[in-house]
Amino acid sequence: MKKTVLVSGGAGFIGSHVTVELTNAGYDVVIADNFSNCDMTNYKGVCQILGKELPLIKMDFCDAAATDKLFTDYKIDAVIHFAAFKAVGESVAEPIKYYKNNLDSFLNVLEAARTHGGCNVLFSSSATVYGETDVLPVTEQSPRQPATSPYGNTKQMCEDILRDTVKAFPQIKGIALRYFNPIGAHPSALIGELPNGVPNNLVPFITQTAIGKRECLSIFGNDYPTPDGTCQRDYIDIVDLAKAHVCAVTRMIDGKMDESYEIFNVGTGRPVSVLELVNAFEKVNGLKLNYKFTPRRPGDVTAIWADPTRANEVLGWKAERTVEETLAAAWAWEKAIAK
């Protein structure tokens, strides 16, 4: 019997790539999204890649009755919860909006999972929970630092909510995946990142500068205590990241978990500086990028990268694509959506 995975926020950047990989791995996927921060582009791309229409429910997970109905209409074996607001700066300006949306939606998912006899729940967390740390790379045991934004705090709070929920209700199992910096696009160039307005993230800003939508990339700070003075991050290819979800879902559905709540870092284990990333982008795509150094961006940590050993050994997952391949895919996607 095919198992069914509900993907909340399945029309977004990460959700769409995860949907493709889950389907390729033999799962039935139900996508639910309120389209508050995306349009139909990625959903249509997913269907084109897979050569079939997938069930799509337009709904808001803050609506408890609608969430419950979803669990009535489908026999859901696992849910992957992406549906959340994700702009750090906006979360500082609009904390109530962020707490309400990100917590309510997750609580409704857990409530529905509980009342419908239990479920496997995968929560989309972030390396942001580690904050600034001197001990690198970070393992899952590295201490979490107090969150520096309401967005980051919702990630920590949802992790804790999931941990406490599985403790109280044994019919619910949980995994939190802590993503480092997801970048790139599907090699088909049919799905990818679609930032709203001026991108906050580095790679969409690079590709938009390269295509002429932005005049110049600002590299925030070249006086950090790193080899070239720019910040270091662990950039993880979006398709590699998506595959980690398939491994995690399968581990839950097959009843292979060692504990009822598990955490995994999803990263490459390889630090890359902003300047290295820019240089790699120029080299692999054969172009010159207009960039300048500007002051540090408030809130940025100097360096963070993953120790992915636990995901490698326990999930049997490993990042495979090189940063060059990923940056080529990001550029192909930018060109595809410019058409």
Least distance from ligand UDP to the Cβ atom of residue 157, Å: 18
Least distance from ligand UDP to the Cβ atom of residue 300, Å: 4
Residues 100/211, Cβ–Cβ less than 8 Å:
no
Name the residue nearer to ligand UDP (CB basis): 274 or 319: 274
Least distance from ligand UDP to the Cβ atom of residue 214, Å: 9
Distance between CA atoms of residues 93 and 212, nearest Å: 30
Least distance from ligand UDP to the Cβ atom of residue 63, Å: 29
Name the residue nearer to ligand UDP (CB basis): 164 or 223: 223
Closest by Cα among 59, 78, 84, 172 to 122: 78
Least distance from ligand UDP to the Cβ atom of residue 183, Å: 8
Residues 265/307, Cβ–Cβ less than 8 Å:
yes
| 261 has catalytic annotation | no
Name the residue nearer to ligand UDP (CB basis): 233 or 245: 233
Name the residue nearer to ligand UDP (CB basis): 126 or 165: 126
Closest by Cα among 316, 160, 332, 130 to 234: 130
Closest-by-Cβ residue to ligand UDP is: 231
DSSP for 184-222, written as a single string: ---TTSSS----SSS--SHHHHHHHHHHTSSS-EEEE-S
Bond before 199 cis per omega within 30 degrees: no
Which of 27, 43, 130, 151 is catalytic? The answer is 151
* Residues binding ligand UDP (CB under 6 A): 181, 200-202, 205, 217-220, 231, 233, 274, 297, 300
CA atoms within 13 A on the CB side of 122: 30
Name the residue nearer to ligand UDP (CB basis): 145 or 201: 201
DSSP for 91-140, written as a single string: HHH-HHHHHHHHHHHHHHHHHHHHHTT-EEEEEEEEGGGG-S-SS-SBPT
Single-letter residue type at 258: D
> Which residues participate in catalysis according to the annotation?
151
